[in-house]
Amino acid sequence: MENRYYKEIRTMEITEVKEQADKICENISKVLIGREKEIRVILAALYAGGHVLVEDRPGTGKTLLAKTFAKSIGGQFKRVQFTPDLMPSDITGLSIYNRKSEDFVLVKGPVFTNILLADEINRATPRTQSSLLEAMEEQQVTIDGESHRLEAPFFVIATENPIETTGTYPLPEAQLDRFLIKISMGDNSKATEVSIMDRFMSENPFDTLQTVCDTDHIKTMQEAVREVFVHSCVKEYIADIILATRNNSRIQVGASSRGTIGLLRLSQAYAAMEGRTFVRPDDVRYMAPYVLAHRVIMAGHMDEKKEKTVIRELVDQIAVPVEDWEN
């Protein structure tokens, strides 16, 4: 009786996750035309408590996507334009001596926010890029030896230009591993380009966009998705995928254990957004390229599309569990 009661309560929570997710995605789609799939994946990353790296050439809507997300979900929003001369303290903040109080005063950097847009992150030096590591992993920053907690939810949306673009620095492996997913905006169809012109011709829809939830609601949703059931056979399926990345001739360095947890969390979040209280193998298959492609090092040079293709082909070769995943 207790288990059934718990399951009913959990079903109510997951239903709310789906309803809220649909509302947020619909709101964002008023500004970002033809990006429904990308919007849902990024929202799943937020619900999973992760961070997002968006890569594509300039002018594809990366910054607008981050700003629209921030406005839709409420909370504090700050933007940092990464440049070669940006210093770590420009992000985290620093302590300044106050002559009147004869004491050091903390001047908080833009990292003290709910949603941080790290715009063109790979234009800054690796030293400055790494200043986000502690914040992204532990939701805190250390300034002059003192740790300061960041307010939850803390969500980083970083944009980067392709590494072939002039004036870019490759993100270190440790930095890449902190991003739950890496996603590309991709090219629009002719019909989508026409729809964009129609939507923006008379006014900017971003200016009239409404906030549809708040940060407390997001925290509640993040807690709810952690309760999504994952059958032992699905966990083994995730482990098989991770191990396969470490034993593939086309992959020089496989995914880390952080990738294992990331794939689990993102699958839970996606299942909840679909209105389910349990994870299916299809959830794992769908999310694997987003979670793993940027965490592995290929044996030869490949672009992001080819890396994701390798991951998809690798996943296709692994036997899918057929047990009753719901129980």
Query: What local confidence, expressed as pLDDT, does residue 106 receive?
Result: 85
State the pLDDT at residue 186.
74
The residues near 52 (Cβ < 8 Å, ≥ 6 apart) are: 42, 45, 46, 155, 156, 157, 158, 179, 180, 181, 182, 183
pLDDT at 202 (0 to 100): 85
In terms of Cβ atoms closer than 10 Å to its own Cβ (0-12, 13-18, 19+), residue 285 is middle
Amino acid letter at 144? D
- Count of residues in the chain: 327
**How far is 43 from 279, CA to CA, in rounded Å?**
17
Residue 42: the pLDDT is 96
pLDDT in tens, the chain (327 residues): 444 544 554 666 888 899 999 999 999 999 988 889 999 999 999 999 999 999 877 777 778 888 898 899 888 889 999 999 999 999 999 888 777 777 878 889 999 999 999 988 988 888 888 889 899 999 999 888 889 999 889 999 998 877 655 556 778 888 889 999 999 877 888 998 899 899 888 888 999 999 999 889 899 999 999 999 999 999 999 999 999 999 988 898 899 999 999 999 999 999 999 999 999 999 999 999 999 999 998 877 665 668 888 999 999 999 998 876 666
Strands 146-149 and 140-143: antiparallel
- What is the model's pLDDT at position 109? 93
Q: Is the pTM of this model over 0.75?
A: yes
The Cα–Cα gap between 9 and 188 comes to 41
